[in-house]
Amino acid sequence: MARISPLMILPPAIFAGLAGLFAFGMMRDDPDELPSALIGRAAPATETGTLQGRDAFDASVLADGEVKLVNFWASWCAPCRVEHPNLALLAEEGLPVYGVNYKDDPAKAVAFLDELGDFYTAIGTDDGPVARDWGVYGVPETFVVDGEGTIIARMAGPVTQRAIENRLRPALEEAAAR
């Protein structure tokens, strides 16, 4: 009778384990979406710096009774340039959009806003701690915050028309219903 070596069992066992992990990962609603531990929790205390001539904001503003977006962006970020007109349209509809300018040269950030338009209700600056507290992986990232200051949804990547219709509007409706 032939004896089975443990080395013969190891490769199929590793393959089966990896296949199970991949299958579990694909069962999420959106396998491309990075998870956020902040969904359903109060927005972190936000102590941002000030960008030339613009109003900054803090955590108390995020619990002012209005649904809003908090958008992390930078002038050096190409996808931020792509999403800017879409965020401007949302702001024109009356949705408050708060910006956090992330690890940026202040003069370049102001030039970006002067060129593309400044629709932000308020803008703070951040060299890293605020983004870390919010769990930001990179810019752009946008959060839907309800009137009580609770984070309802997080969207990594640029806000496109498809993202507005498929993800942001449902999250905004959920936030408004709270």
Both structure tokens of 47: 């102590």
Q: Residues of the chain with pLDDT > 90: what percent?
A: 74
Question: Between 2 and 45, where is the model more confident?
Answer: 45
Half-sphere exposure for 91 (CA within 13 Å, toward CB) = 20
The identity of residue 63, as a single letter, is A
Place 83 in a pLDDT band, splitting at 50, 70 and 90: very high
Provide the 10 A C-beta neighbour count for residue 67. 20
105-140 as b/e, with b when 16 or more CB fall inside 10 Å?
A: eeeebbebbeeeeebbbbbbbbeeebbeebbbeebb
Place 21 in a pLDDT band, splitting at 50, 70 and 90: low
**pLDDT tens across 88-143, in order?**
999 999 999 999 999 999 999 999 999 999 999 999 999 999 999 999 999 999 99
Both structure tokens of 107: 């003069």
pLDDT of 146 above 80: yes
Q: What is the set of domains in the chain, with CATH numbers? A: 33-177 (3.40.30.10)
pLDDT of 160 above 90: yes
User: What is the DSSP secondary-structure string of the chain?
Assistant: -PPPPHHHHHHHHHHHHHHHHHHHHHTSS-TTSPP-TTTTSBPPP-B-EE-TTS---BGGGGGSSS-EEEEEE-TT-HHHHHHHHHHHHHHHTT--EEEEEES--HHHHHHHHHHH----SEEEEESSHHHHHHT--SSSEEEEE-TTSBEEEEEES---HHHIIIIIHHHHHHHHH-
DSSP bridge partners of 99: 71, 123
Place 47 in a pLDDT band, splitting at 50, 70 and 90: confident
pLDDT value, residue 133: 95
Provide the 10 A C-beta neighbour count for residue 23. 9
Mean pLDDT (whole number) for 36-59? 89
| Cα distance between residue 141 and residue 3, in whole Å | 56
The identity of residue 119, as a single letter, is F
